[in-house]
Copies of this chain bind each other. A is one copy, B any other.
Amino acid sequence: MTTADQAPPVPRTPRRAHARRNHDRLLREARSVFAEHGIDASLEDIARRAGVGIGTLYRNFPTRQALLEALLHDGFDDLHVRANELLGSSAPGEALTLWLRLLAAHAATFRGVAAALIAVIHDERSALHASCRAIHTAGAALLARAQESGDIRPDVSPSELFTLINAIAWAAEQTPEAVDQADRFLHLVMRGLQE
């Protein structure tokens, strides 16, 4: 045996490129299938549409949560950035409402996401837990500002607000009119939270 035996004998790039393409295809098809059937959609279906074996899907995303996490990650990041921007706004109440509208839209990305987010915030072992907590904290800062300025009642907690917004997103998911409903519900609920 020589050391040469241990080194890979052929260039890896093509294989890696191929693997990467599978990964991307899985994400694309997962997004499409989740959008159509909700987050409990068939994983087999996703693999088939991506043109890979079911084993490849599991290799790339060991759990359904991992796949979901990969799909929601960018949205989470975006929400985080937007929250920080809005913390500089001179109208705390409006800033909060605007951001909550974004949060509701994100929670309604696919059918089932709102329920998943609430589950995740209560489950520390979840892959989404950290990013979900970060969003929660960002929202809490916006809420605190709106409360200090007198726009929002002082007795509303960040957790209550988070749950309520997800409930709104959930309600919108259930009805045919989805998006319009979400805005309407948000409007009504925010009235209740005002000072």
Tell me the nearest residue of chain B to A157, going by C-beta: B184
Asked if A185 contacts B170 (CB within 8 A), the reply is no
A5 interface residue (CB < 8 Å to B) = no
In the complex, A119→B168 CA distance in Å? 16
A19 interface residue (CB < 8 Å to B) = no
A137 interface residue (CB < 8 Å to B) = no
Asked if A164 contacts B171 (CB within 8 A), the reply is yes
Tell me the nearest residue of chain B to A117, going by C-beta: B174
Asked if A188 contacts B119 (CB within 8 A), the reply is no
Instruction: Give A contacts to B, CB under 8 Å.
Output: 115, 118-119, 122, 156, 160, 163-164, 166-168, 170-171, 174-176, 181, 184-185, 188-193
Q: Pull 27 A–B residue pairs with CB atoms less than 8 Å apart, ordered by A.
A: A115-B174, A118-B171, A119-B174, A122-B176, A156-B188, A160-B181, A160-B188, A163-B171, A163-B174, A163-B175, A163-B181, A164-B185, A164-B188, A166-B174, A167-B167, A167-B170, A167-B171, A167-B185, A170-B170, A188-B189, A188-B192, A188-B193, A190-B192, A191-B192, A191-B193, A192-B192, A192-B193
